[in-house]
Amino acid sequence: MPHLNIEYSANLEDALDIQALVDQIHETALGTGIFPLGGVRTRAEARKHYRIANGDPRAGYIHMMVRIGSGRDAETRRSAGDRIFAALCEFTHEEFESRPLALSFELHEIPPEMAWRKNNLHELLKKESSQ
């Protein structure tokens, strides 16, 4: 964990390099030092059908939801959330200054009794690093 989900209005695709946003958010999450490399998943999905506020066609939005495994204290979660949201704000700064744009962010802990996982990435990464 974490899983970083970026949902955005499709009208931002011509204005932002979405893959670069995914890469920046992914690296920022890793840079917090609290998430293992083999557990970080970052993805983005455009929404073609949406209406924002008064319907201005220039208006856009990005909503991020980060879901993490349980066990970290509130201060650690808050610090990670602050850093990831700051990266989103920095990446979108120019667009934010030039058009209507709504940014939102949520961080949720997944209760361990409600999570099932099967992952061989940690083992593969250990093998790669020892070679």
> Catalytic positions, please?
2
Residue 64 has, within 13 A of its CA and on its CB side, a CA count of 25
Take residue 40 and report the two structure tokens written for it: 């970080």
Residue 57's contacts (CB-CB under 8 Å, 6 or more residues apart) are: 11
Cβ atoms < 10 Å from Cβ of 87: 19
Calpha distance 127→116 (Å, rounded): 24
| Closest to 4 (Cα-Cα) out of 63, 92, 60 | 63
